Amino acid sequence: MEMWARWRALWQRLRNWWARRRALLGGRWQRLEVQASTPRWGWPPWPFSLDPFRKPASLFAHEATWECALYRPAQLSDAEEAPLVVLLHGCGQRAMAFAHAAGFVAAADRGRFRLLCPEQREGANAWRCWNWFMPAAQGGGGELDVVLRGLEAAERQVRCGRVAAAGLSAGGGLAALLAFHHAARFDAVVTVAAPPLLGRANLQDPRQVMKHGLAISPALAALHIERCAPLMILHGAEDDVVAPRCAEQLAEQALHVLKRRGGGPPAGHALENGVEHLDAGGHLVLRRLLLSGLGHAWSGGPGGHPHAVREGPPLTALVLAFLRETGVPMRAG
């Protein structure tokens, strides 16, 4: 049985590799380079930053180049307006491989939307984690600027309609920050296995937050934030890397912002495995789902990449359904 599992995993990796090669050779993927100025310092030093012994001088920002991959379905001309989904990978993943493994490439072909997949630099983080925990990112800058510059570069290549974002783990943490700090830029955001916001003046170890949640009131980290894009928070009940409590705290932060902006709490409705909230106009603004049988991974796609598995809830289908409900026009496929 163990040998069969190994052969199956190898077969899935080979399928993922061939799907990427075929899309690259067919011109469906276009590589874009973007420059952004981000702080070089990472605290706490392990496992988030490359060098735990950097000198204080490295606190200053520096300009660096990131690579983004733009996926353009064959049936869409560059001049045709279509939705764009920004997909943010997790630690130890590669952007294009994750997009294929999660099933987003096949979904983009069926649903007639494009993908923008930024990739973290190994020089910025040895584990290829997005540095969501950095003070600059928590304040709305940092590596959020990488995503925004990538979005600008994509819009110079193709005609974009509505824009959404989705991310896993560290990528989910970055996606959550986009929802709060750049709500005007994104029509909807989905996080999977994401940590809550830490706030601008955080003194907690991000690793401990991931394991146990915030030790302070979650609302304190969102006091200075004025808006939140429509947000869906997905979390596995068996996640042993980012505690399910983090999803509850992230939802509490979103509700805090929505309550302040709307003059009252959005109406809540219980779901079978979570809760959703509608604003005064009946528009869906927040949904949180706790998914049984899911650990720290993106499930339901072809797999063949770290933290992307075939077995489990169909996360990509859940994401696309939420995007359609919040007004992002894409086919069900």
Higher pLDDT, 36 or 67: 67
Q: Are 104 and 315 in contact (CB under 8 A)?
A: no
Higher pLDDT, 298 or 263: 298
Q: Does 250 have pLDDT greater than 80?
A: yes
pLDDT digits (tens, 9 = 90+) for 310-331: 999 999 999 999 999 999 988 7
Mean pLDDT computed over 109-120: 97
Going 82 to 86 to 89 to 95, the CA torsion angle's sign is positive
The pLDDT, as a whole number, for residue 104 is: 98
pLDDT digits (tens, 9 = 90+) for 170-186: 999 999 999 999 999 99
The pLDDT, as a whole number, for residue 267 is: 87
Neighbours of 201 (CB within 10 A): 10
Question: What confidence category does residue 226 fall into, taking pLDDT thresholds of 50, 70 and 90?
Answer: very high
What is the per-residue DSSP string for 94-114? Answer: -HHHHHHHTTHHHHHHHHT-E
The pLDDT, as a whole number, for residue 58 is: 42
Helices of type H across the chain:
2-25, 95-101, 104-111, 135-138, 144-157, 170-181, 206-212, 244-262, 315-325
Range in 22-26, 62-66, 312-316 the model is least confident about: 22-26
Q: Does 62 have pLDDT greater than 90?
A: no
DSSP 56: G
The amino acid present at 63, given as its one-letter code, is E
The pLDDT, as a whole number, for residue 34 is: 95
When the pLDDT of each residue in the chain is averaged and rounded to a whole number, the result is: 90
Q: Does 236 have pLDDT greater than 60?
A: yes
Q: Does 280 have pLDDT greater than 60?
A: yes
The pLDDT, as a whole number, for residue 60 is: 54
CATH numbers and ranges of domains, the chain: 2-30+68-325 (3.40.50.1820)
Mean pLDDT computed over 91-101: 97
12-35 b/e with 16+ CB inside 10 Å = b?
A: bbeebeebbeebeeeebbbebebe
Contacts with 22 (C-beta within 8 Å, 6 or more apart), sequence order = none
Q: Does 82 have pLDDT greater than 70?
A: yes
Q: Does 80 have pLDDT greater than 80?
A: yes
Q: What is the pTM of this model?
A: 0.91
Q: Does 15 have pLDDT greater than 70?
A: yes
Report the distance separating Cα 15 and Cα 11, nearest Å. 6
The pLDDT, as a whole number, for residue 42 is: 47
Q: Are 263 and 254 in contact (CB under 8 A)?
A: no
Range in 57-71, 95-109, 124-138, 212-226 the model is least confident about: 57-71
Nearest to 72 by CA among 101, 17, 31: 31
What is the per-residue DSSP string for 168-222? Answer: ETHHHHHHHHHHHH-TTT-SEEEEESPPPP--TT--S-HHHHHHH--SS-GGGGG
Range in 18-32, 134-148, 170-184, 317-331 the model is least confident about: 18-32
Question: What confidence category does residue 11 fall into, taking pLDDT thresholds of 50, 70 and 90?
Answer: low
Q: Does 53 have pLDDT greater than 50?
A: no
Q: Are 237 and 206 in contact (CB under 8 A)?
A: no
Q: Does 48 have pLDDT greater than 50?
A: no
